[in-house]
Structure 1
């Protein structure tokens, strides 16, 4: 049986070597969170960054590189959490590279740019939904094997992306799709993003772990207040093209409309403005992203 997709998630906690990591914590982290913990000398920041980056590169097939900069480390650094994700899959219904065209894409400020758009060689049935509440349209693009898919969330106007960001919980709850005959026109895009999660987690209310006056990570090592989280860094790599997400050429799986289907004209799903997307595997969302400019 061929492998339908590749998902690599790398999670690791690096702890200043002054503090011995408790064996009970190591076991819990590995058994429950599939994460590792390791002592490291942050004072030698170049060596420490190189070691962390090599580990991430190995776990993500060298697709995620330079996660940690030596500048972000120093002798005061005590705990660094790293997270990296790499996903690879082939479209179940592939876009035809011979049909690629240049089309206009309208950015949030309404600036018009020209981008390369992908097309199918004929209309296909896709899961589709229109939400008046969210003022957006949804289409689900399956990957080969149908265990994984990418959902494109297209706001009705260029200014609506921020509103979707603010309602991401409602966006992810949408599941009342219907099968529609569509002509999907999607820009190629690539995401290679490094995110400092510390500020984001603080906004979400996770503050004590970053404050040495309040942090209690003594279950990991040291005493109360010894360990605080210095950095939480995440980096994701996504490359969307005709074959799939970071995909090589492969035979297309047919999913055209049956002869008994309605002869109504297909709807155009033209992704010509900023949009959200998320990837799910067996109904579990593993990655969420936004594309404001496909050329970046």
Structure 2
């Protein structure tokens, strides 16, 4: 269970790790074992899934270490049953820094979708950003500091702010209708703004049934079918082998120092100022109502994280409780 990618270059810390646990009653095929060690850089561990508590503790310890303490629990005993054969897990950790002036953080009102207002710390004093205005929304791109001079990876956070205070549903509809929305080249540029404020926020997100359903909607249906034969070559002896459940938990914190974020996924098989004749007012970018955000690597357009901030003060936004399972999930 080792890392696939790890980079700590001063201003940037990025790591991507994989983990795999196999039932002791099965034997990994040599072909897949080689694939796991060479491509996924992970050494599969043999465990007894009947000893649920021990397996859960081991997987959660792995998640804790992989996410550098941000995610301490991803698996529960009820996620394992007598049909569990293999557990796959991957973890993504990202920490980027930028240059907001902490002394200039002030409390401002944030408007919720239900019309209520709350007081939230807003950051400002960062001048290294790009701005663009589009139909129905604005975009601000804030780059993270680059560490080593020879590190060509450039990561940025994009904030998509609806023009209307209750415009997030409409923006989400636009995103859903355009599969390339987050990977497109946004026509944005450095531009002086009359005001530039974004809220500090921190929340965790747990997805259970939604991940599997989302992947099916994207067209990836075969691995979830009992008739799937493509992944039966993982273990011996052969038999029905399919993905029964995908668990995902993510955490992100954005403050003056930058962004720290982590995501762990477990798969279970059974599993400027201008002067003209008149003064044209400068645009403003004040994220005082629900918005979308994205963290992306600029050269490859690789999207690491996306999310919606509905309430910057809600530390456990969109958490899913155990009541969201139905009997078919066990």
Give TM-score, length-normalised by structure 1.
Answer: 0.83
Please list every run of at least 4 consecutive aligned residues from structure 1 whose deviation after the TM superposition is greater than 4 angstroms: 261-266
Structure 2 CA distance for partners of 1:287 and 1:30, relative to 1, 3 Å: farther
**Aligned residue for 1:267?**
283
Q: CA deviation at 1:75?
A: 1.6
Structure 2 CA distance for partners of 1:222 and 1:201, relative to 1, 3 Å: farther
Q: CA deviation at 1:223?
A: 5.0
Q: Give the number of aligned pairs.
A: 278
Which segments of 5 or more consecutive residues in structure 1 lack a partner in the other structure?
Answer: 248-256
Give TM-score, length-normalised by structure 2.
Answer: 0.75
**Aligned residue for 2:197?**
185
3-state SS of the aligned residue for 1:206?
Answer: coil
1:5 aligns with 2:12: yes
**Aligned residue for 1:211?**
225
Please list the CA deviations of residues 16-59 of structure 1 after superposition, one character each: whole Å capped at 9, or x if unmatched: 33221122212223433445543332221111111111112222
Aligned pairs for 1:1-296 within 5 A:
2-91=9-98, 94-120=99-125, 124=127, 126-132=129-135, 135-145=136-146, 147-157=154-164, 158-159=166-167, 160-166=170-176, 167=178, 169-182=180-193, 183-196=195-208, 197-222=211-236, 224-246=238-260, 266-283=282-299, 284-296=302-314
8 Å contact from structure 1 (residues 279, 286) kept in 2 = yes
3-state SS of the aligned residue for 1:179?
Answer: coil
Distance in 1 separating the partners of 2:188 and 2:296: 15
Which segments of 5 or more consecutive residues in structure 2 lack a partner in the other structure?
Answer: 1-7, 147-152, 262-271, 315-330
3-state SS of the aligned residue for 2:119?
Answer: strand
Question: Aligned-residue CA RMSD in angstroms?
Answer: 2.6
3-state SS of the aligned residue for 2:75?
Answer: coil
Distance in 2 separating the partners of 1:273 and 1:56: 33
8 Å contact from structure 2 (residues 227, 240) kept in 1 = no
Structure 2 CA distance for partners of 1:84 and 1:108, relative to 1, 3 Å: farther
Structure 2 CA distance for partners of 1:21 and 1:262, relative to 1, 3 Å: farther
8 Å contact from structure 1 (residues 193, 235) kept in 2 = yes
Structure 2 CA distance for partners of 1:208 and 1:192, relative to 1, 3 Å: same
